[in-house]
């Protein structure tokens, strides 16, 4: 990964993936082909982010949109930050208030980067979500 921001989201993706693996239907021995295909899609997404592939964001959008369509009961197991990070169609699954908080978080990050100051994404995120 090339930036702490990308690394943060890769770690969230891995944690979300691990939570999904512990939930039905993924925690059973008898997975149907669609379930196996979805898990493979997530594995490929992790690999794409680790390799900083150009199409990783599109792959993430596809995976999260598929999750919402095929496994809506599992959406709560995925960190909301990932919907913002991947963007695109994923934003349709976020309320305006949540989008506003993530926009502000990005603004703070960009301001810190422009000023050459360190930026702790986790601390800033905790502060902003605590206020809302």
Cis omega (within 30 of 0) on the bond before 25?
A: yes
pTM: 0.92
Between 26 and 4, the more confident residue is: 26
As a whole number, mean pLDDT of residues 97-103 equals 95
Q: Which pLDDT score is estimated for 18?
A: 97
Q: What is the pLDDT of residue 69?
A: 97
Q: Supply the pLDDT for residue 29.
A: 87
Confidence band for 119, pLDDT divided at 50, 70 and 90: very high
Residue 45 near residue 13 (C-beta atoms within 8 A):
yes
Residue 1, pLDDT > 50, answer: no
* pLDDT score recorded for residue 30: 87
Query: How far is it between the farthest Cα atoms of the chain?
Result: 53
What's the pLDDT tens digit per position in 18-60? 999 999 999 998 899 999 999 999 999 999 999 999 999 999 9
**pLDDT digit string, tens, across residues 69-83:** 999 999 999 999 999
State the sign of the Cα–Cα–Cα–Cα dihedral 26, 98, 117, 57: positive
**pLDDT over 80 (residue 2):** no
């Amino acid at each position: 990964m090339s930036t702490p921001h990308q690394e943060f989201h890769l770690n969230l993706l891995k944690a979300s993936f691990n939570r999904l693996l512990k939930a039905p239907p993924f925690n059973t021995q008898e997975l149907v082909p669609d379930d196996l295909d979805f898990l493979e899609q997530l594995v490929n997404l992790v690999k794409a982010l680790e390799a900083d592939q150009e199409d990783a964001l599109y792959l993430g959008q596809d995976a999260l949109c598929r999750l919402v369509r095929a496994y809506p009961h599992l959406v709560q197991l995925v960190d909301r930050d990932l919907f913002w990070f991947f963007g695109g169609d994923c934003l349709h699954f976020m309320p305006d208030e949540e989008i506003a908080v993530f926009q502000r978080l990005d603004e703070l990050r960009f301001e810190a980067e422009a000023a050459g100051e360190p930026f702790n994404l986790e601390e800033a995120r905790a502060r902003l979500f605590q206020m809302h």
